[in-house]
Chain A
Amino acid sequence: MKRWMLFFLAILALPARADLRVLACEPEWAALAAELGGEHVAATSATTALQDPHHIEARPSLIARARNADLLVCTGAELEIGWLPILQREAGNPRIQAGAPGYLEAAALVPLLERPARVDRSEGDVHAAGNPHIQTDPRNVLRVAAALAQRLAQLDPANAAHYAARHADFGRRWQAALARWEAQAVPLRGVEVVSQHKGFPYLYAWLGMREVAVLEPKPGVEPSAGHLAAVQQRLAARPPRMILRAAYQSGRASEWLAARSGLPVVVLPYSVGGSAQARDLFGLFDDTLARLLAAVK
């Protein structure tokens, strides 16, 4: 009897009390909301860095969290098109609908790369607005931070000064870190790499790295052995320095090529939580750079 009582109490448990409840679609935005909101914000992420943000189940637990959220922060640019619309529809929560102040789309705040000339499914999983993987460039994080801080203040005006102060502090620390990262990354300029998925154009644009091949024949399409062999042959004449993949991606294709070409595979954390070191946003870029630099040593 007692155990049943506990079970029912657990079901009826209400979500954490905070001035603002933020549901982020990806861990990087949850981490950013935590940086900017401090104790006034309870931020959680719908996904982890080990999950493919294109393919998430609209699980009951996510709908429950969307129901209680004051602010939904997502990458947008159709990255979450397979699951986010369900959360918004089923949550019965007008605060987080598209167009409401409680919905912030990060990709709308930064210049997007790789806008496809042709949007057709024969091109694979392409996004009409451009490549959505914007969080791999720390300058984009700064742009999103400015908008997010404003949005927090708009939704919780009582703590506006608090959010502004935390944003200013975050901006200072981030600028300092940016200078440090850019100094560290000098050896990466012009380095030629192979990516498993077109997931890093913003990182490459920031560091001046060059993507000479992609293992997926089309975005989101698993490479076949034949396709990988063709990539290997093409690279043989002028071998790149490394193969990059994100922590959530299967290692099959990159390990296949690595075994045959001798190239090192660098697994990037991709988001907060993607590696033991990537505990927060600063750790994410510290670890990303450390892994890249180790491969060019």
Chain B
Amino acid sequence: MLPRKPLAAPLAIALAAACAPAAADGEIDAIRAEIAAMKQHYETRIAALEARLQEAETRTAVPEPAAQAPATGGGRMNPDIGLILQGRYAQRDDLAERFIGGFAPVGGHAEGGGRGFSLDHSELLLSASVDPDWRGHAILAMADGAVEVEEAWFQSLGLGNGLTLKGGRFYSGLGYLNEQHPHAWDFADAPLMYQALFGERFSNDGLQLKWLAPTETYLEFGLEAGRGGVVAGEFDGNGVGAWTAFAKLGGDVGTDNSWRAGLAYLDARPRDRASHWEDANGVEAETLFGGSSRAWVADFVWKWAPDGNARERNFKFQAEYFRRAETGTLSCADNTAALPVAGACAGVSDAYRTRQDGWYAQGVYQFMPRWRAGLRVDRLDSGTQALGGGFTGVLAPVDYAPERYSLMLDYSPSEFSRFRVQYARDESMPGIDEDQWTLQYVMSLGAHGAHAF
């Protein structure tokens, strides 16, 4: 702070003293007025200088905390907490049961509620460094009266040599879409292929080890061992319910294009994996499957943006293909419901062998900032389904090639909010051609983890 008065007063006196002797009577008033004006002028200038000094002081005071601010890699909050609000309105036909024709349903809930308005998939995210070498991450899905642990894992940061170890419950690294949470999807629901294979996705409790090769091209190998999630059914034993191995390759083509391709192999040992059939008498039968389930999953993603700047316009193509073979024993566990008609399947147990495949492909184009449109094609093939002689006249597998065509348009007011409308022509159930409309919102609050490629 400058002492305003003490400085201004001596200045005025000195000026007055210098001027006074030479002044004639008439001039004195004029000089007095001039001095007063000068005094006024200097006072305002000094006040202005003081204000500037104060401003400068506060400005130089700012850098200190800034310099001590934590390095990037999360905000100041520890842990990072985020919340995803995702809900929808769904217009669907009134069907007693939904399934994918020619595919025995694999546990896990299919995507969100039913018809009308619903809180589809709201999630709570927690993430932080554990210590310099480890990071922890959890995502809890919230539904009425229940909290589901979607993911809860630790990950190494300090192994080096391109190695990363992850442990806990995690979304398997197989395929492209599997690791993404619904709020990052480009469509309101999972592709039929994921629904048929995993209910929605392959979530595993176990360990994952990844190695990134020291090459200039992105080349990554991963190995997972775990309980096996819905694929392994009620796997309850020592050892491993499912092994997964994958390789991923990726790179850029010029500055405009980037791509990634992957191939994964899943080898599971299902035990008492529950499924539902309709037996020859039209009675619902719960079956249990035990044996082996092996699947190949190939995935490919291509992204384009002019100059690599996705802000204005960009295009994304993705496609995945699977081929799965299952062999083992199928047994009817519960077929007693719906009297007066008796179930045909009760107590039957015999060989079960399938070889099935399917794919989806989709393109999403951002034609102007905030607006995107997309088309997705889903197609599965029920392939070979061979049941042992014990099931003759009891269970009859359906031969069918489910298909679905989806169109979507979404609008993102910011990178943290999105509204979507989706239309789908769904022919995934034999004899039913359904028009599906979905309106959806996705909002993300708080710390929002960066999205992977």
Chain A interface residues (CB < 8 Å from chain B): 10-15, 47-48, 50-52, 55, 57-61, 63-65, 67-68, 74, 76-86, 88-95, 97-99, 103, 105, 107-113, 115, 121, 124, 128-130, 220-222, 248, 250
What residues on A are CB-neighbors of B155 within 8 Å?
89
How close is A123's CB to chain B, nearest CB, in angstroms? 12
Chain B interface residues (CB < 8 Å from chain A): 59-60, 62-63, 66-67, 69-76, 132-133, 135, 155, 157-164, 210-219, 248-252, 255, 258-260, 303, 307-312, 369-370, 414-416, 445, 449-453
The chain B residue with its CB closest to the CB of A50 is: B307
What residues on A are CB-neighbors of B214 within 8 Å?
14-15, 67-68
The 9 closest A-B pairs by CB, nearest first: A60-B250, A111-B63, A60-B218, A98-B73, A64-B218, A98-B71, A92-B162, A94-B158, A50-B307
Tell whether, in the assembled complex, residue A57 and residue B303 are in contact, meaning their CB atoms are under 8 Å apart.
yes
If A57-B258, A85-B450 are given as contacts, then 20 extra A-B residue pairs at C-beta distance below 8 Å, sorted by A number, are A11-B219, A15-B215, A48-B307, A68-B216, A77-B72, A78-B72, A80-B72, A82-B450, A82-B451, A84-B72, A91-B212, A92-B164, A92-B210, A92-B212, A97-B158, A105-B71, A108-B67, A111-B66, A222-B369, A250-B311
How close is B338's CB to chain A, nearest CB, in angstroms? 52
The chain A residue with its CB closest to the CB of B259 is: A60
What residues on B are CB-neighbors of A64 within 8 Å?
212, 215-219, 250-251
The chain B residue with its CB closest to the CB of A78 is: B72
How close is B75's CB to chain A, nearest CB, in angstroms? 7
How close is B235's CB to chain A, nearest CB, in angstroms? 29
Q: State A57–B453 Cα separation when bound (angstroms).
A: 6
Q: Given A64-B215, A68-B214, A111-B60: A97 and B132 within 8 A (CB)? A: yes
Q: State A48–B256 Cα separation when bound (angstroms).
A: 11
Tell whether, in the assembled complex, residue B450 and residue A94 are in contact, meaning their CB atoms are under 8 Å apart.
no
Tell whether, in the assembled complex, residue A61 and residue B252 are in contact, meaning their CB atoms are under 8 Å apart.
yes
Tell whether, in the assembled complex, residue A105 and residue B72 are in contact, meaning their CB atoms are under 8 Å apart.
yes
How close is B105's CB to chain A, nearest CB, in angstroms? 34
Q: Given A52-B309, A78-B75: A89 and B250 within 8 A (CB)? A: no
Tell whether, in the assembled complex, residue A85 and residue B212 are in contact, meaning their CB atoms are under 8 Å apart.
no
- Among B62, B72, B453: residue with most chain A CB under 10 A: B72
How close is B71's CB to chain A, nearest CB, in angstroms? 4
Q: Given A98-B71, A130-B62: A86 and B216 within 8 A (CB)? A: no
Q: Given A13-B215, A15-B216: A57 and B250 within 8 A (CB)? A: no
Q: State A15–B216 Cα separation when bound (angstroms).
A: 5
What residues on B are CB-neighbors of A81 within 8 Å?
72, 75, 450
A sample of 14 inter-chain contacts (CB < 8 A) reads A11-B215, A59-B252, A60-B218, A67-B162, A68-B214, A76-B71, A77-B66, A78-B72, A85-B449, A92-B160, A92-B210, A111-B60, A221-B414, A250-B369
What residues on A are CB-neighbors of B259 within 8 Å?
60
What residues on A are CB-neighbors of B73 within 8 Å?
84-85, 88, 97-98
Q: State A20–B148 Cα separation when bound (angstroms).
A: 46
How close is B154's CB to chain A, nearest CB, in angstroms? 12
How close is A189's CB to chain B, nearest CB, in angstroms? 16
Tell whether, in the assembled complex, residue B157 and residue A89 are in contact, meaning their CB atoms are under 8 Å apart.
yes
How close is A104's CB to chain B, nearest CB, in angstroms? 9
Tell whether, in the assembled complex, residue A14 and residue B450 are in contact, meaning their CB atoms are under 8 Å apart.
no
How close is B238's CB to chain A, nearest CB, in angstroms? 30
Tell whether, in the assembled complex, residue B369 and residue A58 are in contact, meaning their CB atoms are under 8 Å apart.
no
How close is B25's CB to chain A, nearest CB, in angstroms? 45
What residues on A are CB-neighbors of B415 within 8 Å?
55, 82
Tell whether, in the assembled complex, residue A94 and residue B248 are in contact, meaning their CB atoms are under 8 Å apart.
no
What residues on B are CB-neighbors of A89 within 8 Å?
135, 155, 157, 164
What residues on B are CB-neighbors of A124 within 8 Å?
414
Tell whether, in the assembled complex, residue B66 and residue A115 are in contact, meaning their CB atoms are under 8 Å apart.
yes
Tell whether, in the assembled complex, residue A99 and residue B216 are in contact, meaning their CB atoms are under 8 Å apart.
no
Tell whether, in the assembled complex, residue A130 and residue B71 are in contact, meaning their CB atoms are under 8 Å apart.
no
What residues on B are CB-neighbors of A110 within 8 Å?
63
Q: State A48–B75 Cα separation when bound (angstroms).
A: 25
Tell whether, in the assembled complex, residue A222 and residue B132 are in contact, meaning their CB atoms are under 8 Å apart.
no
Query: A58: which of B71, B255, B451 is its contact (CB, 8 Å)?
Result: B451
What residues on A are CB-neighbors of B70 within 8 Å?
98
- Among B160, B163, B216, B258: residue with most chain A CB under 10 A: B216
Q: State A77–B72 Cα separation when bound (angstroms).
A: 6
What residues on B are CB-neighbors of A47 within 8 Å?
308
What residues on A are CB-neighbors of B133 within 8 Å?
94
Tell whether, in the assembled complex, residue A85 and residue B67 are in contact, meaning their CB atoms are under 8 Å apart.
no
What residues on B are CB-neighbors of A105 within 8 Å?
71-72
The chain B residue with its CB closest to the CB of A59 is: B258
How close is A96's CB to chain B, nearest CB, in angstroms? 10
Tell whether, in the assembled complex, residue A90 and residue B164 are in contact, meaning their CB atoms are under 8 Å apart.
yes
How close is A46's CB to chain B, nearest CB, in angstroms? 10
How close is B79's CB to chain A, nearest CB, in angstroms? 13
Q: State A94–B211 Cα separation when bound (angstroms).
A: 14
What residues on A are CB-neighbors of B75 within 8 Å?
78, 81, 128
